[in-house]
Amino acid sequence: MHSTTEQRNPNSTEIDLKKISEIVQIFHEEDRKAVAAVAAESDAIAHAIDLCVTAFRAGGRLFYIGAGTSGRLGVLDASECPPTFSTPPEMVQGIIAGGDVALRRSVEGEEDCPERGAQAIRERQLTAQDVLVGIASSGRTPYVIGALKAAHTIGATTIFLCCVEPPEQFKEWVTHFVAPIVGPEIITGSTRLKAGTATKLVLNMLTTVSMIKLGKVYDNLMVDVHASNTKLVERSIRIVQAVTGVDATVAEATLAQAGGQAKLAIVMLSEGLNATDADALLERHSGFLRGVLDKKP
């Protein structure tokens, strides 16, 4: 029996004979299945986030590893953390089979080498404090399996994200599974479609919810945004305004004094402090703006 991701989808047979509008409707129908599959894994996703938050609080790191689309999605999610949450680049890292060149074009054969996956883990010096999320839609990519086994040997927390029912024997070296079962793809075997969508949804939650629980979000605002371009500078000004009620001119001036850090500027304005004292106050609240503004001890 082929893996679910390799089976043919009865909803898309003779798709080449259908009108464009009909094909679009098929995509909508199948994409809804991907969302439902992720929703069905809510408890598993929540536990995976708990594992990540625990690791971060202990000084650990989060690594994603995958091949092809799975690898690209992991790199994408990891690369968005520094600008969104001002995290150091090493805190969340994405590893793709074949290296950075594989982000733009396929590097054939790399995903078939478990020893290459294990080597990638050793090169990044994983420790027992780290979390490795192996991403493999089919549940059987040798590169990912090799990496997970190596990480398990080191004592790291291992999470396997796949879109099929994971084999029982994997429990020997996987701490936790997240397995949204999306069913056969519209184009047989093309896991950049529903499986890719489901993977992206899960990764969105792993990092975003973890960062919320680390104090990098206040209300629904990215108060730790790294204002590295005009758009993000303008967003930072709006964030400071939204929380403190000051006008744009005051927000911009205070941001300049705060070195562009929205969270710090907010504390300066709300508490009437200079940058140094505001930073010390934030530090006493472990970086949680909520604790400062709500005057919690």
Catalytic annotation, residues: 80, 111
Distance CA 34, CA 6 (A): 16
C-alpha 31: how far from chain center:
20
E runs forming strands in 73-143: 92-96, 131-135
C-alpha dihedral (244, 233, 285, 53), degrees to nearest 10: 130
Closest C-alpha to 76, from 110, 100, 56: 100
Interhelix angle 42-57/20-40, nearest 10 degrees: 60
Contact criterion met (CB below 8 Å) for 3 and 166: no
- Cα R_g (the chain), whole angstroms: 22
Place of tokens 């529903």: 194
Closest C-alpha to 141, from 166, 123, 106: 166
Q: Which residues contact 77 (CB under 8 A, 6 or more apart)?
A: 64, 92, 94, 200, 203, 204, 206, 207
Distance CA 116, CA 235 (A): 41
Other Cβ atoms less than 10 A from the Cβ of 208: the count is: 19
SS3 135: strand
